[in-house]
A and B are shown apart, each in its own frame.
Chain A
Amino acid sequence: MSVGVTVSGAAGPERDVLEADVLVIGGGPAGAWAAWSAARHGAQVVLVEKGYLGSSGATAPGGTNLLYVPPDPVLREAAVADRLAAGGQLNEVRWIHRVLDGVYESLALVEEWGYPFVRDAEGVPLRNHLQGPEYMRLMRRVVRRAGVRILDQCPALELLADAHGVGGARGLNRLTGRDWEVRASAVVLATGGCAFLSKGLGCNVLTGDGLLMGAEVGAELSGMEFSRAYGTSAEYGTVTRNRLLNFATLYAADGTVLPRRSRDAIARALLRGPVYAVLDRADTPDKRALLRRSHAVFFLPYDRAGIDPFRQRFPITLRFEGTVRGVGGLRLVGDDCRTTVPGLYAAGDAASRERSHGAITGGGAYNAAWAICSGRWAGAGAALYARTVGAVRDRRLKPVGRAGLRPENGAGRIDEAAVVEAVRRQTVPLQISYFRSEPVLRKALSQVDSLWPAVHGTPGRGIRERVRAREAAAMVATARWMHTASLTRRESRGMHILAEYPHQDPAQAHRLVLSGLDHITIRPEPVPQGGAA
C-alpha cells in the first residue's frame, strides 16, 4: 500500500515519502503503458512525471503513426524482412515479431478503451495513426482507472539503491517546491530520449535524465551512435512532423527544386541558406481538407503566422531529435526489459531499441509501437520482480545521484544556462550530428568531455535551477556517450553515416555497449541471433 508520510531526514531537506511496489518514472506513452501493465499485474504503482501525464513528451502534442500489421504470416514475414534490412542486421527476428504482435493486440485495447479509430468502407478500423492529445488523454484515464497514483510536475532527480539493487527515487514537486521520495521494489525508467532542448514538438522535456540516472547505478547503454535524427519544422516554429512535406515542393535559397523525401537534400541546402516549402501538390479544396484533418497540428504555425501553406512558400528548418527519433538508450538484457541492474527496467525511448529496430528507427511508427510494447513488458517485469523481492521498508537505501546534484571537491555554483548552451553547441548543429566526420566529432567530444567537471558544482536552490542543473548534467553525459559511440563505429550502418567510412563493414556487425560516467568504456557485443552483415 502506498502511504504518504513526511520525514525530516537527519541530512537534507524535509520530504514527502511514499512506498510502492513499482515506481514508473515518466508519463509519456511508455510510462503510461508500463504503469497500467504493472498495476494489472497486481502491483501498487506510483508514476512520477516531470510535466503532466497527458501532455508531456514527444507524442502528446502531435500524433504518431503506428506499425500496424495484421497477423497474416505473409504480411508479417515481409515486415520482419523489411526491418532486418533497414536495421543493418543489428536487430533480432524474435524481437521484431514480439513488437508486431504486441502493438497489434494493444491497439485493439486502445479502441476498447474509447479511442475513436476511423473505419474503412468495410468497417475495418484503421489503427495506424493516433492523434497525440486524444491518445494521451485517454491513457491518463486508463492509468488512473487501473489504480496508479500519478504525481504530475514531479521530476525525478536521482535513484535510490543499496547492495540489492535499485529501490526507488527522489525528486521534487515543481508546484509545491517540496522534495519527494518514492521507495519501490522496482523502478521503470520511461523518461524518453534526449533532444537537447531543440524545441522539436514536445521534446524539451526529453533531456536524457533516465540515461544519467541509470548509468549512475551501473546500467549500460547501447546504440548511442544511432542518434542522428532531425525533424523538419517551420523555421520559426516547433511542429516537427515530416509527413505532409511529401505534398510540398521544396526550394533551396537559389530557387532550385529539391528532391522530395530526402532529409539529406534539405540538410545540405540548409548549410547554404534558407529552404522553403509550399504544399502545392494538394491542389484542390478536397485534397487540402484531407491534409488538414490528418496531421492537423502541422498547420498551426502557418495559420497563426498568417501564411497560406498551400500557396505561399514558407521557410523550413531541421530540428535535432538526438536519441528521441534515434535508437540508443539503456541496454536491455531480458524479454521483460530489465537492465543489468537488479530492480531497474527501461521502456520507450529511454531504452535501447536495437533489439527490435537495429541501427535505424525508421520513424515515429516504430518508436510508438516500441513504447507500447516495451512499456507493457517492463511494467509486467517490474511487478513480478517486486513480488519476488518483497517490501522495501527495511532496506537501507541511499540516493546515488552525483553530477548536477551534489558538489564534489568544493566546486562552485553550476552555471546551468552556460552548460546547456555549450552542450547544445556541440550536438545540435548539422555539421556535427548530421554530417558526421571524425575530426569534427573528435573536437566536439573533447568539448563535451571538458564540460563534465562543470556539472559537478553546487546547483542553485530554486526549483527551476535544481531541475535544470540535473538536466544539464544528463545532456552532457548523453552527448559524451553519443559522440564516443559515433567515433567508435568506423563504418556507416543504418542511420549512422560517418564521412570517412561511407560503407557498411561486415566486421562491425555488432552492437556497441557503453558504460560509465567519469570514465566511459565501450565494448562490442555480438547480436544474439548472429545477424550477418
Chain B
Amino acid sequence: MIELISADRCISCGLCVKVCPTNVFDGAVGEVPRIARQSDCQTCYMCEAYCPVDALYVAPYADKSVPVDEATLQATGLLGSWRATLGWGAGRTRLAAVDTTPFLDELEREIERSA
C-alpha cells in the first residue's frame, strides 16, 4: 500500500488526489497531500505512474503497512521505477511501444521444444 509522499519532491499539483481510484489521499491543489485512508489503498500503483515528480512510493504489501526510507528508495532506484518502466515522462520510450507480450507464445513453444 501507499507508504510515502515525499514533501521534498511533491509539487502540490493535486493529481494523485484526483487519480487514486479508491480515494486514499486528501489535500487541495497547492498543498502536499496527506495519506488519509491508507487501509483503502488497493496497491494498484496508479498514483506512482501519474506522479510527474516521482514523489510517491507504493510498497508491494496489500494488507500491511511497512516503514520505508526515502533515501534508501532513491538509492535503490525504486522511487519512480514504475513510471520509468511504463516509459512515461519526457525522453522515454513507452512500454507499449516495446511490449513483448505478442512474443510470449513463441517463447513458450521454444521452451517446450527444448525441455
A residues neighboring B (CB under 8 Å): 50-52, 54-57, 60-61, 63, 65, 115-118, 120, 126, 128-131, 133-135, 152-153, 174-175, 199, 201-205, 234, 236-238, 243, 246-247, 281-282, 287, 290-291, 293-297, 300-305, 463-464
Contacts and interface: CB of A to CB of B under 8 A. Distances in A.
A149 B78 CA distance: 36
Interface string B29-63: 00000000100101111110110000000011111
Given A134-B86, A202-B21, A303-B81, A118 B97 contact: yes
A297 B44 CA distance: 9
Interface string B49-84: 110000000011111100000000000001001100
Given A293-B98, A293-B99, A294-B101, A205 B60 contact: no
B55 to A, nearest CB: 16
Contacts of B19: 51-52, 54-55
A302 B40 CA distance: 22
B108 interface: yes
Contacts of B45: 61, 297, 300
Nearest to A64: B101
Nearest to B28: A175
A117 B20 CA distance: 27
Interface string B84-113: 011010000011111111111001100100
B2 interface: no
Contact of A290 (B40, B85, B95, B107): B107
Contacts of B23: 51, 153, 174, 463-464
Contacts of A120: 102
A417 to B, nearest CB: 10
Contacts of A133: 46, 49, 86, 88
A236 B61 contact: yes
B22 interface: yes
Nearest to B43: A238
B18 A52 contact: yes
Interface of B: 17-23, 37, 40, 42-47, 49-50, 59-64, 78, 81-82, 85-86, 88, 94-104, 107-108, 111
Contacts, number: 149
A174 B102 CA distance: 39
B21 A199 contact: no
Most buried by B among A60, A238, A247: A238
A247 B105 CA distance: 11
B67 to A, nearest CB: 14
Contacts of B78: 303-304
The 7 closest A-B pairs by CB, nearest first: A51-B21, A126-B102, A129-B101, A55-B46, A204-B42, A116-B97, A301-B60
B108 A246 contact: yes
Contacts of B63: 199, 236
Contacts of B95: 131, 134, 293, 296
B100 A60 contact: no
A295 B88 CA distance: 16
A115 B60 contact: no
Contacts of A303: 78, 81
A446 to B, nearest CB: 29
Given A205-B22, A236-B61, A116 B102 contact: no
A328 B19 CA distance: 29
Given A56-B21, A134-B86, A304 B60 contact: yes
A55 B97 contact: no
Given A131-B86, A247-B111, A50 B81 contact: no
Contacts of B21: 50-52, 55-57, 60, 202, 204-205
A81 to B, nearest CB: 20
A115 B46 CA distance: 19
A52 B25 CA distance: 13
B44 A202 contact: yes
Nearest to B88: A133
Contact of A131 (B42, B47, B99, B103): B99
- Indicate the member of B18, B42, B108 with the most A CB atoms within 10 Å: B42
